[in-house]
Structure 1
Amino acid sequence: MSYWKEIIYGGWSLVEGMRVTFRRLYRPVVTVQYPRQRVELSPAYRGHIEFVRFPDTGTHKCIACGQCQRMCPSGLIKVQGIKERAKGKKVGTHYVIDFTRCSLCGLCVEVCPTKTLKFSKEYELEGESRWDGVIDLMARLEESQS
């Protein structure tokens, strides 16, 4: 009796599969020809981390407080800063992050007291070696300014 049950069950799954196939056959194609066409990203897309350029200063407002470094669950962020005067504010000079291991959790963006960090909309990061994913965001911001 189980032999006939298997035959009936197999035939029914074949009918269901063909039904799904025929239903999809007449729908429009949704494939994007990637190099020639760009993918339209969702507004909620969270790419890699980058600095916000503020219009009043023309640069970032990182104070090198280290909160993002302490909050990172993977321990990927290294922040350094200097004080130009003894009683002056600290200014970030280096902000290095390893994007090859970043989980894009967003804790660093949420905890930033000056709202200097944001998620980018860039999705075409590639590299020839592992070290291409280790990026100094300060240097990257300076390169984009020039």
Structure 2
Amino acid sequence: MSYWKEVINGGWSLVEGMRVTFRRLYRPVVTVQYPRQKVELSPAYRGHIEFVKFKETGTHKCVACGQCQRMCPSNLIKVQGIKERAKGRKVGTQYFIDFTRCSLCGLCVEVCPTKTLKFSREYELEGVSRWDGVIDLMARLGETRP
């Protein structure tokens, strides 16, 4: 009996798939003349990660705790920081990430205790060589203007 049940379920999924295909077949084709026209992104789009620039300090709040580095499943993040005073907090000085191998899983964004990391809306991140994908987010934050 289970054999016939699988055959019926398989046939039904085939019919459903063909119904979706035929419905999409008669919709108009939308072509964007890239790069003259920009693609309109979905609100749910998750680009590469970047630092949040906080208005009250004018910079990031990274304390170089290393939680994002430990949480990264691909081991792509390298964080370095210094203590300015002996009993003071640690301050992040370098934050390297290799975007060529990043899977955009978002674990680093979720685990950040200071909420310094966020997903960007940028989708035009390209380079000529493999090493153009290795970026220091601290230096990149310094290049941007509020």
TM-score under structure 1 normalisation? 0.81
Q: Distance in 2 between matches of 1:139 and 1:42?
A: 28
User: In the alignment, what sits opposite 1:116?
Assistant: 116
Gap regions ≥5 residues in structure 1: 1-15
Q: What whole-Å deviation, never above 9, does each CA across 1:31-79 have from its counterpart, x for those lacking one?
A: 1111111111011100001000000001000000000000000000000
Greater Rg over alpha carbons, structure:
1
User: In the alignment, what sits opposite 1:12?
Assistant: none
User: In the alignment, what sits opposite 1:144?
Assistant: 144
Give how far 1:116 is off: 0.1
Gap regions ≥5 residues in structure 2: 1-17
Runs of 4 or more consecutive aligned structure 1 residues displaced over 4 Å after TM superposition: none
1:50 aligns with 2:50: yes
Give how far 1:29 is off: 3.3
1:63 corresponds to which letter in structure 2? V
Give how far 1:145 is off: 3.4
Report 1:8-87 matches (<5 A). Answer: 20=22, 24=26, 27-87=27-87
Q: What whole-Å deviation, never above 9, does each CA across 1:91-129 have from its counterpart, x for those lacking one?
A: 000000000000000000000000000000000011110
Q: Distance in 2 between matches of 1:75 and 1:34?
A: 34
1:30 corresponds to which letter in structure 2? V
Q: Distance in 1 between matches of 2:37 and 2:143?
A: 27
TM-score under structure 2 normalisation? 0.81
User: In the alignment, what sits opposite 2:92?
Assistant: 92
2:141 corresponds to which letter in structure 1? L
1:60 corresponds to which letter in structure 2? H
User: In the alignment, what sits opposite 2:14?
Assistant: none
> Which segment drifts farther, 48-57 or 29-38?
29-38
